[in-house]
């Protein structure tokens, strides 16, 4: 059962449409303080505190990583959202499609010769402020983060969206010292190597 209301699904599909994603990720010093400031702006709530389980795949020699591409199968509970996500090779390139069976998708990738190279779990909440989406994440052992983003098919709007997102970040009390340029995948891999 999908607890998202039909209107939330429509809004979600509009917010996550496009081949390009402009995104800034910030490490939060205080999740509570950030959420308080965000909620004072009356965001639309898509979902709160979902467990997101990501499984990343690559070819045996790491060809996708070498080409700055990634393939991820995502399962979100209790919302029931399941996605097939491809990022790269350009930094702003990101496409996602709804799927109905995450386990079958993982099996199909492995049948085609892909190997699971990383599994990651996080607690995620997603809010909408106008055309932008704000994602608040908690990764165990890594920390709390906020991602400010927008997706589009119009490559010519990317620079303008970058500026608008930086202005939104400042309004939310975030600054450049909190910017995190590494992906969650890189942060998780780094965390794993430190704990080995």
Active-site residue set: 56
Query: Structure tokens of 76?
Result: 């979100």
* In contact, 57 and 67? CB cutoff 8 Å: no
Count of alpha carbons within 13 angstroms of residue 128, beta-carbon side: 16
Which candidate, 130, 112, 120, places its Cα nearest to that of 168? 130
Neighbours of 184 (CB within 10 A): 19
Kindly tell me the burial class for residue 170, based on how many C-beta atoms sit within 10 Å of its own C-beta (0-12, 13-18, 19 or more): exposed
Strand partners, 19: none
Tokens 């070819």 locate to 59
Strand partners, 23: 149
């Amino acid at each position: 059962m999908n607890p998202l209301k039909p209107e939330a699904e429509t809004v979600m599909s509009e917010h996550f449409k496009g081949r390009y994603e402009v995104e800034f990720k910030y490490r939060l010093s205080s999740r509570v303080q950030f959420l308080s400031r965000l909620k004072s702006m009356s965001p639309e709530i898509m979902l709160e505190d979902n467990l997101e389980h990501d499984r990343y795949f690559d070819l045996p020699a790491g060809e996708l990583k070498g080409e700055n591409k990634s393939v991820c199968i995502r399962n979100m509970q209790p919302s029931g959202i399941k996605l097939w996500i491809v990022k790269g090779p350009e930094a702003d390139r990101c496409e996602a499609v709804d799927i109905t069976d995450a386990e079958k998708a993982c099996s199909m990738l492995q049948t085609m010769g892909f190997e699971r190279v990383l599994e990651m779990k996080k607690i995620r909440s997603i809010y909408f402020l106008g055309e932008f989406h704000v994602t608040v994440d908690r990764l165990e052992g890594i920390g709390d983060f906020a991602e400010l983003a927008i997706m589009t098919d119009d490559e010519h709007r990317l620079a303008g969206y970058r500026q608008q997102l930086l202005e939104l970040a400042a309004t939310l009390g975030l600054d450049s010292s909190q910017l995190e340029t590494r992906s969650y995948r890189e942060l998780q891999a780094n965390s794993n190597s430190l704990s080995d």
